[in-house]
Amino acid sequence: MSSVPIELPLKPSEAAALADLIFQHAEGHPLTDDVRNRIGGRLSSLELTSMVPYIGSLQKDPVHSSAYYIAVDADCRPGSDSLLLRMALASSPASAHFPDSILIGRMRPGGGREIVVNAIPFAVTDRENIRTFAGRIDRSFYPRPQGAQSSVSLIIRHPLQEIPAAFDAFRTISRKYGVNLASLTATANSSGEEIYCAALWAAIRAGWREGYNLGLTLPENVEAATLAVSGAPGYTRYSIPAPADQLFDYIHTVKSPQSSSKYFDFEFSLAASPEPTTAGQLNGHLESLKAGGRPVQLVAPKLTGLDDVAALAEVSRQFNATLSFYLGESESERALQQIGRSTGGRFNVTVEAGKGTRAKIAERLVSVAAGLRG
């Protein structure tokens, strides 16, 4: 049953106006990005003051076609409440997915059909609701393995700022270059659950359905690594230090029961090795892992410079693997261009966000992508 609070988080009249706009353009038609963009282009005419809708998140209920969900920020009181609005014709059954939603109102915008609007708590900390939306309403927001696809991966240390910034950048890169380089990387000492749900939340609000990889860098200590994997079963890339056999098998065991996310990218990391990685050593490692039924999708060599990258990339390609690079907080345009050329445009580059605003972090990622393509 929907509850009705004394003070509503947003204006019912504005919720009705938004619902009316959505039904005008989406009802009876496939809900595509073109439809979402058309609705977004008309938002300004509503002159909303109590909420900020995230049009990219708009999705139909998969069971009840006359019910829509959209993420919003409610701004009518100090502090911004992140909510998920459910807008449905009064004739549609109530949602069984979110039984504790808040009733905003039953309205007839423009004197037309009756619409019921409910609000669901949808802050980054509302993890159950985030998982429910991703799992039951729109599964396209889940992370996916990248396979042979190139990527620029942001290391996440401050999820609330860095993950939304990353999706801002991925959208710009996609529009500018026509490629999807979206990837996020959690560190060994981070909360796997916190970053996983923050990634889902940010992807939903950004409307990012193109896919992204969510990686976890595992510590060298096997016991610590297995604990990290246990807390991050939904991740799609695991960076495993050498020797990797035991940890690979453990990840496979953890993920196998999950039919929807049993596949993952194996990044074999030699970055902590005492000596630089040679082409011959890399060939031996990859041959041994493949023979043991543990094929590598990405490999992070120990580098002292970029002179050997072309030779390492050639070996990697023979095993259908992609070279991984860690850039730290700064890199030269020349170095990026050399990585792009030496790998033939097939790379996984992991980047530190550094200090700065959300816009600065996004700008940095776009700049990295431009350098790699240059």
- Is 82 part of any domain? yes
Structural domain of 59: 12-137
Rounded Cα gap, residues 183 and 158, in angstroms: 15
- Is 43 part of any domain? yes
Helix (H) or strand (E) holding 313: helix 309-318
- Is 363 part of any domain? yes
Q: Which of 101, 118, 137 is the last residue of a domain?
A: 137
Place of tokens 């970029």: 306
| CATH code, 204 | 3.20.20.70
How do residues 279-329 score in pLDDT, each as one tens digit?
Answer: 999 999 999 999 999 999 999 999 988 999 999 999 999 999 999 999 876
- Is 2 part of any domain? no
How do residues 197-242 score in pLDDT, each as one tens digit?
Answer: 999 999 999 999 999 999 999 998 999 999 999 999 999 999 999 8
- Is 7 part of any domain? no
- Is 331 part of any domain? yes
- Mean pLDDT value across the chain: 92
C-alpha closest to that of 127 among 207, 46, 196: 196
| Confidence at residue 297, expressed as pLDDT on a 0 to 100 scale | 96
| Confidence at residue 87, expressed as pLDDT on a 0 to 100 scale | 96
C-alpha closest to that of 374 among 349, 337, 335: 337
- Is 6 part of any domain? no
| Confidence at residue 367, expressed as pLDDT on a 0 to 100 scale | 94
Q: Which of 74, 105, 137 is the last residue of a domain?
A: 137
**Do 311 and 360 belong to one domain?**
yes
**Do 245 and 309 belong to one domain?**
yes
Q: Above 60 in pLDDT, residue 148?
A: yes
**Do 189 and 77 belong to one domain?**
no
Q: Which of 137, 170, 186 is the last residue of a domain?
A: 137
C-alpha closest to that of 305 among 339, 263, 344: 339
Q: What is the DSSP string of 127-139?
A: HHHHHHIIIII-G
**Do 186 and 42 belong to one domain?**
no
**Do 182 and 201 belong to one domain?**
yes
Rounded Cα gap, residues 210 and 143, in angstroms: 10
The answer to whether the CB of 55 falls within 8 A of the CB of 70 is yes
**Do 94 and 163 belong to one domain?**
no
Look at phi and psi of residue 113 and say left if phi exceeds 0, alpha if psi is from -120 to 50, else beta: beta
Of 32-46, 138-152, 291-305, 317-331, which gets the smallest average pLDDT?
317-331
**Do 66 and 83 belong to one domain?**
yes
**Do 298 and 348 belong to one domain?**
yes
**Do 205 and 315 belong to one domain?**
yes
Rounded Cα gap, residues 208 and 214, in angstroms: 14
**Do 207 and 106 belong to one domain?**
no
Q: Above 60 in pLDDT, residue 5?
A: no
**Do 151 and 133 belong to one domain?**
no
Q: Above 60 in pLDDT, residue 2?
A: no
How many domains does the chain fold into?
Answer: 2
Separation of first and last alpha carbons in the chain:
56
How do residues 59-101 score in pLDDT, each as one tens digit?
Answer: 999 988 899 999 999 975 444 689 999 999 998 888 788 988 9
**Do 29 and 164 belong to one domain?**
no
C-alpha closest to that of 39 among 16, 51, 22: 22
- Is 280 part of any domain? yes
Rg of the chain over Cα atoms, rounded to whole angstroms, equals 23
Beta carbons within 10 angstroms of residue 60's beta carbon:
18
